[in-house]
Amino acid sequence: MTSSITDYTVYTKPGCPNCDRTMEYFDSNGITYTPVDITEVPEALEYITAELGYSQAPVIVNNSDDQDHWSGLRPDKLVHAAMTHTTANRKEAS
Protein backbone atom coordinates (compact mmCIF):
# COMPACT_ATOMS: atom_id res chain seq x y z
CA MET A 1 0.00 0.00 0.00
CA THR A 2 3.04 2.33 0.08
CA SER A 3 4.74 4.11 -2.77
CA SER A 4 8.49 3.88 -3.34
CA ILE A 5 8.65 7.22 -5.16
CA THR A 6 8.83 9.21 -1.92
CA ASP A 7 10.64 8.58 1.36
CA TYR A 8 7.47 8.06 3.41
CA THR A 9 3.73 7.66 3.15
CA VAL A 10 1.69 9.68 5.64
CA TYR A 11 -1.81 8.36 6.23
CA THR A 12 -3.75 11.39 7.36
CA LYS A 13 -7.23 12.78 7.86
CA PRO A 14 -8.71 16.30 7.69
CA GLY A 15 -8.46 18.42 10.83
CA CYS A 16 -5.67 16.32 12.35
CA PRO A 17 -3.12 18.66 13.98
CA ASN A 18 -0.58 15.86 14.51
CA CYS A 19 -0.88 14.96 10.82
CA ASP A 20 -0.20 18.58 9.90
CA ARG A 21 2.79 18.81 12.27
CA THR A 22 4.29 15.62 10.88
CA MET A 23 4.00 16.83 7.29
CA GLU A 24 5.36 20.28 8.23
CA TYR A 25 8.36 18.60 9.84
CA PHE A 26 9.01 16.52 6.75
CA ASP A 27 8.63 19.63 4.55
CA SER A 28 11.06 21.66 6.66
CA ASN A 29 13.65 18.87 6.53
CA GLY A 30 13.36 18.10 2.82
CA ILE A 31 11.90 14.64 3.43
CA THR A 32 9.59 13.57 0.64
CA TYR A 33 6.26 11.94 1.43
CA THR A 34 2.98 10.99 -0.12
CA PRO A 35 -0.06 12.06 1.91
CA VAL A 36 -3.00 9.64 1.79
CA ASP A 37 -6.34 10.86 3.18
CA ILE A 38 -7.86 7.84 4.91
CA THR A 39 -11.33 9.43 4.71
CA GLU A 40 -11.10 9.36 0.91
CA VAL A 41 -9.26 6.08 0.37
CA PRO A 42 -11.07 3.20 2.13
CA GLU A 43 -8.26 0.76 1.25
CA ALA A 44 -5.81 2.96 3.14
CA LEU A 45 -7.96 2.94 6.27
CA GLU A 46 -8.24 -0.85 6.01
CA TYR A 47 -4.45 -1.14 5.58
CA ILE A 48 -3.51 0.96 8.62
CA THR A 49 -6.12 -0.62 10.90
CA ALA A 50 -6.26 -4.26 9.82
CA GLU A 51 -2.71 -4.83 8.58
CA LEU A 52 -0.68 -2.41 10.69
CA GLY A 53 -2.97 -2.35 13.74
CA TYR A 54 -3.19 1.41 14.25
CA SER A 55 -6.22 3.44 15.26
CA GLN A 56 -4.65 6.90 15.53
CA ALA A 57 -3.61 9.27 12.76
CA PRO A 58 -1.17 10.01 11.38
CA VAL A 59 0.31 6.68 10.43
CA ILE A 60 3.72 7.01 8.84
CA VAL A 61 5.33 4.24 6.77
CA ASN A 62 8.93 4.32 5.62
CA ASN A 63 8.73 3.43 1.93
CA SER A 64 12.20 1.87 1.90
CA ASP A 65 11.54 -0.30 4.97
CA ASP A 66 7.92 -1.38 5.40
CA GLN A 67 8.75 -2.67 8.90
CA ASP A 68 9.48 0.95 9.95
CA HIS A 69 6.12 2.53 10.71
CA TRP A 70 4.48 4.37 13.55
CA SER A 71 1.33 6.18 14.62
CA GLY A 72 0.76 9.60 16.16
CA LEU A 73 3.13 12.51 16.58
CA ARG A 74 6.48 10.91 17.38
CA PRO A 75 9.27 13.51 17.60
CA ASP A 76 11.83 10.74 18.21
CA LYS A 77 10.90 9.00 14.95
CA LEU A 78 10.79 12.31 13.04
CA VAL A 79 14.27 13.27 14.22
CA HIS A 80 15.54 9.81 13.26
CA ALA A 81 13.96 10.19 9.81
CA ALA A 82 15.64 13.57 9.36
CA MET A 83 19.02 12.23 10.47
CA THR A 84 18.73 9.24 8.14
CA HIS A 85 17.66 11.50 5.28
CA THR A 86 20.60 13.88 5.86
CA THR A 87 23.07 10.99 5.99
CA ALA A 88 21.69 9.50 2.77
CA ASN A 89 21.97 12.86 1.02
CA ARG A 90 25.60 13.24 2.13
CA LYS A 91 26.44 9.80 0.72
CA GLU A 92 24.78 10.65 -2.61
CA ALA A 93 26.74 13.91 -2.84
CA SER A 94 30.09 12.13 -2.28
pLDDT in tens, 17-43: 999 999 999 999 999 999 999 999 999
The packing angle between helices 75-93 and 17-28, to 10°, is 20
Query: Can you give the CATH number for the domain in which 31 is found?
Result: 3.40.30.10
**Lowest-pLDDT range, 2-11, 23-32, 76-85?**
2-11
Q: Tell me the pLDDT band of 88, cut-offs 50, 70 and 90.
A: low
Residue 45 lies in a domain: yes
Domain count, the chain: 1
3-state secondary structure of 34: strand
Q: 42 vs 36, 51, 67, CA distance in Å?
A: 10, 13, 22
Residue 3: inside a domain, yes or no? no
What average pLDDT does the structure give for the chain?
A: 90
Q: Provide the pLDDT for residue 5.
A: 83
For residue 1, pLDDT over 60 is answered with: no
- What pLDDT is recorded for position 25? 97
Answer whether residue 26 is part of any domain: yes
